[in-house]
Amino acid sequence: MEFSVAASAFAEHLEKVRRLSTATVRAYRSDLRDLGVVVGDAQLDEVDLETLRGWLWRATQRGDARSTLARRAAAARSFFSWAQEQELIDVDPSLRLIAPRRGRTLPTVASQEAMKGLLDAQRAATESGDPIAMRDHGMLEMLYGSGIRVSELCGLDVDDLDLDRATARVLGKGSKERVVPFGAPARLALGAYLTRSRPALLARSSTTTSALFLSTRGARIGSRAVYTLVAEVLSPFVGAETVGPHALRHTAATHLLDGGADLRAVQEILGHASLGTTQIYTHVSAERLTATYRLAHPRA
């Protein structure tokens, strides 16, 4: 079997059998497509360890980040392991493939004071009754108040909200459903949006939709619009030019832990499959604690 045919079959397996998210499957396709440039029209069993090493070396010379190299090596190992299980190859050439270790980079996190200032400013902007301002306030409160992903936010329907209990039912990675709580400020912002803003936005469209958050044309909002909003309002508070909705997720998790939340509970709220993924936030909290100590303690 040709490499390209096997790579397409593997991507279909990830999507339909393992039920990975669209973004994850897209990343695998991208990595294997990059490998395909090196492999060309070769048969799958013609790809050996030296070919894979040459592929990673090519990426190194191109200036790819260590995290990208590590991800691509992992994608190759997953692919060839699957191919061997499917008896498409006799020997897995990726078993001895080594990629540079990822450098540990801590996520961007805003302080509690910064988040209060940001959200207070957004709430003040809603006093004019502008439906877009009210929608934006609701989205920002929801992202920070619940720690959900941008894809989960955009996928919310009106019926997924329970304002009385201050919870939302979200569909996460791998089509796994979970219920997440949110706070009183988010409940107030969402209530105002549903009664005063969403009907005005929905009236701009000729069709109806169950989507919770709507675009300026009355359709389900897309992730790009949310990215643009967060980058515009959050960047000045964290001092970073490139910042997106995930920074609010990082911030929510860190503030939960700073407030004494149990790590397992934070894992459930965020929808992490592995506790190890959640533990990165303990490093963030520790660094913030150390910085505070050094500034405040007389013998620091």
Q: Is-catalytic flag, 173?
A: yes
Of 221, 210, 164, the C-alpha closest to 191 is: 164
| Collapsed DSSP state (helix, strand, coil) of residue 170 | strand
- Which residue of the set 149, 187, 198, 255 is catalytic? 149
- Which residue of the set 169, 173, 178, 288 is catalytic? 173
E strand spans, the chain: 161-162, 167-171, 177-181
- Which residue of the set 169, 220, 272, 288 is catalytic? 272
Cα dihedral 247, 250, 254, 257 in deg (nearest 10): 150
Q: Is-catalytic flag, 272?
A: yes
Q: Is-catalytic flag, 16?
A: no
- Token pair 């959200």: residue: 119
Which residues pair with residue 180 across a beta bridge?
A: 168
Q: What is the DSSP letter of 128?
A: G
Q: Own/partner pairs for 269-275, CB < 8 Å, 24+ apart? A: 269/146, 269/147, 269/180, 269/181, 270/147, 271/148, 271/149, 271/152, 271/170, 271/172, 271/173, 271/176, 271/178, 271/180, 273/173, 273/174
Q: Is-catalytic flag, 255?
A: no
Note whether 76 and 97 are within 8 A (CB).
yes
- Which residue of the set 29, 123, 249, 250 is catalytic? 249
- Which residue of the set 53, 169, 246, 288 is catalytic? 246
Quote the CA–CA distance of 181 and 147 in Å, as a whole number: 9
Q: Which two tokens stand for residue 161?
A: 């909200």
Q: Which residues touch 159 (CB under 8 Å, ≥6 apart)?
A: 210
Note whether 262 and 270 are within 8 A (CB).
no
Q: Is-catalytic flag, 299?
A: no
Instruction: Return the sign of the alpha-carbon dihedral for residues 146, 150, 156, 158.
Output: positive
Q: Is-catalytic flag, 249?
A: yes
Residues acting as catalytic residues: 149, 173, 246, 249, 272, 281
